[in-house]
Amino acid sequence: MSEYAFYLAPSDPYCLPDEEGRAKFLALFRTVSPLPNGNGDYDCRAYERPTPIHAGAAFEALLCPQCHGRVVLFDEDGDTPHSAWWKAALAGPRDATVELPCCGGSVRLVDIRFDAPGGFARFAVGALEPGFSDFWVDGGDNFGSLTDEALKRFEEIVGCPVLQIWEV
């Protein structure tokens, strides 16, 4: 059985809304994704520090914020040599500046985004097997996206753009 989860997270890696903001965000998420999965569970996460929210088995590479290159971590043979570099970077402080293997550019660790889409966040809301509604492009589909209008409503709550992350 295939399982998919869909998460929204602020693009600002340090953004953690207060309790009221988190409740508003979850309430809106329930509207755009009604009745997810058999248990009806939603997942509301808050972290002490920016934490990678990634696509699970579909997470393959890092995207360099400077040269826009792809740093592949996992391929069909398993871990690539960059994987050890990434693990070491994750073990260090979150406010570190790291040198990316693609171009040697120095970037904040927390500004690195992932492919399939993901990134660092202190807050994320998601649902396993999300439900669809009119707030989705073309009425919704696995690996689809929310409409610009729906995203804007989430962005107003957190005060920054919002990442859409599908996890498999």
**What b/e string do you get for 3-12 counting C-beta neighbours within 10 Å, with b at 16 or more?**
ebbbbbbbbb
Residue 103, interface with Zn ion (CB under 5 A)? yes
Binding-site residue total for Zn ion (CB under 5 A)? 8
Nearer to Zn ion, 99 or 134 (CB): 99
Check binding of 65 to Zn ion (CB under 5 A): no
| Alpha-carbon dihedral angle through residues 31, 10, 6, 144, given to the nearest 10 degrees | 90
Q: Is residue 107 near Zn ion by the rule CB under 5 A?
A: no
Work out whether the CA dihedral 76, 77, 82, 87 comes out positive or negative: positive
- Write each residue from 3 to 42 as x if it is in contact with Zn ion (CB under 5 A), else as -, in one continuous string: ----------------------------------------
Q: Which of residues 68-87 bind Zn ion (CB under 5 A)?
A: 69
Using the rule CB under 5 A, is 62 a contact of Zn ion? Answer: no
Q: In angstroms, what is the minimal distance from the CB of 61 to Zn ion?
A: 12
C-beta closer to Zn ion: residue 113 or 153: 113
Beta bridge partners of 119: 53
Burial-class residue 109 by CB neighbours within 10 Å (0-12, 13-18, 19+): buried
